[in-house]
Structure 1
């Protein structure tokens, strides 16, 4: 196992290098001059040229890329052209906000999706099966931005049950410890703040988790249908085991490998969908951070943000691969 992990980590080096090249090339292909954006259209050519020289944007592309890679290797993500602050300090709160939103979304998607898929397979060709799969199909088809706007209109504007934007009520300040508000409020015993933070998470969490929930439900149903026809399931029923025990203890464990694979892949979908979700709900996450940086042509922030998101996705998939051995003893890593 250790040798496999070491080999996989070494394989990540060319992957991350390739990602850095692609990200660097795409960012520099974006029309517009960041120096002009910062100084405004009224700036003189001399002022723009001085600022470009200060930022190193007058250097050849290869020199800029070499400097970029050198900074990444040394742990320096650079400095924001807009705020003049170190990115590695500025990006952490945004990253933790996205992580918290992703955790809530994935918990919603897994709990509802897995259980819906199990019950649909158990009651195959029943009204529940048809209804669950129809809802899953609709869930996959609904655009995230439309669902988010409908949630805001119904639950925030019309009924006023939940807040429509933001991460926290400004009147409930919370001391940042981990950056995860639910965890921080629990540690501090601030239950009022916990409830407020949870309420702010509900609408964006549902919007972001709807598509993964539908995909997980469909994959779980397909996997469970194969397992429920196995000989050992018939043997378990012949022994008089309860259906609940057969479904969740025996069948789900053997059917969960494809579900686990799709969960790992859905992390990338959540990270991509977070840009729209965070923009709609005013969520101060890394998706909105990158979105604002694109508008201001803040190259270092865009490059560092996208590379960080890509790195998270790569490591999550590595973690999923390692979970296979725990899930299925027949899998051996050599």
Structure 2
């Protein structure tokens, strides 16, 4: 037998779907029902907080440890430890995130079976999953931090600070990092996008039933792989997309607030 994949698009059907969706929003104030006879809003309220914990952890880890990693990469760039600096950053970024997740999952199961960090029955599993989600975004911020610091080399204010007898460490943290933070914080929005894009594959591989995992079931991929007809749940997909858009907007707001506060602090100094 030769399977034939065929997809037909009809404008009338598309128009009807849009009209039905509009009437649901207008008359019932809902995104629609799901396969479990619950509204999309009820499903999102159930699953989104689980993923939100991971996103907050990954966002915090990426900024804090990403900046620290970038500073470390810069400080060891001319030493024998540079393989642990830019070398490790490049290496982690070159490995697909799903491969890293599978390796950590395998090592945890077979090497340390008593450490049940990916078990949904323990309360702290979101910390480990949040760290896995933050790996690639963390290396992204590390690269941005390194480039921002390196761009300040040779500036006049650095030479003046060194001429006053300030140590390299003090010049780096007190002067260079101040000017570099403006560049680093402009990448907070792409950072949030990286985290959201890594969320689906991570939740699916570790079996964490968050909103990204729920979107995977709402798309109907599992039924298609099994040879069945996909069951789409557009309310879940649209509602989750709106939630992610709000998160991206909030990340922009956070970056703006931090930049404004740092700028005011500089002006006071």
Could you state the TM-score of these two structures normalised by the residue count of structure 2? 0.79
Find the counterpart in structure 2 of residue 308 from structure 1: 243
- Pair 132,122 (structure 1): closer, same or farther in 2 beyond 3 Å: closer
Find the counterpart in structure 1 of residue 16 from structure 2: 60
- SS of the counterpart of 1:275? helix
Find the counterpart in structure 2 of residue 324 from structure 1: 259
- SS of the counterpart of 2:38? coil
- Pair 163,273 (structure 1): closer, same or farther in 2 beyond 3 Å: same
Residue from 44, 51, 62 that aligns with 1:109 = 62
Q: Cα RMSD between the aligned structures?
A: 2.9
Partners of 1:62 and 1:202 in 2: how far apart? 40
Q: Any conservation in 1 of the 2:188–2:252 contact (CA below 8 Å)?
A: no
Partners of 1:235 and 1:283 in 2: how far apart? 53
2:240 is the counterpart of 1:298: no
Q: Any conservation in 1 of the 2:149–2:177 contact (CA below 8 Å)?
A: yes
Q: Any conservation in 1 of the 2:43–2:236 contact (CA below 8 Å)?
A: no
Q: Any conservation in 2 of the 1:152–1:203 contact (CA below 8 Å)?
A: no
Find the counterpart in structure 1 of residue 77 from structure 2: 124
- Pair 125,304 (structure 1): closer, same or farther in 2 beyond 3 Å: same
- Pair 161,328 (structure 1): closer, same or farther in 2 beyond 3 Å: farther
Map residues 1-334 of structure 1 onto 2, 5 A cutoff: 60-67=16-23, 70=26, 76-163=29-116, 165-169=118-122, 197-198=123-124, 200-295=125-220, 296-329=231-264
Residues paired across the two proteins, number:
247
- Pair 93,66 (structure 1): closer, same or farther in 2 beyond 3 Å: closer
Structure 2: segments with no counterpart, 5+ residues: 1-5, 221-230
Q: Any conservation in 2 of the 1:97–1:285 contact (CA below 8 Å)?
A: yes
Partners of 2:49 and 2:15 in 1: how far apart? 34
Q: Any conservation in 1 of the 2:118–2:206 contact (CA below 8 Å)?
A: yes
- Pair 280,233 (structure 1): closer, same or farther in 2 beyond 3 Å: same
Structure 1: segments with no counterpart, 5+ residues: 1-29, 33-56, 170-196
Q: Any conservation in 2 of the 1:79–1:300 contact (CA below 8 Å)?
A: yes
Find the counterpart in structure 2 of residue 54 from structure 1: none
Partners of 2:116 and 2:23 in 1: how far apart? 44
Could you state the TM-score of these two structures normalised by the residue count of structure 1? 0.65
Q: Spell out, residue by residue over 1:3-40, the C-alpha distance to the aligned partner (whole angstroms, 9 max, x if none).
A: xxxxxxxxxxxxxxxxxxxxxxxxxxx969xxxxxxxx
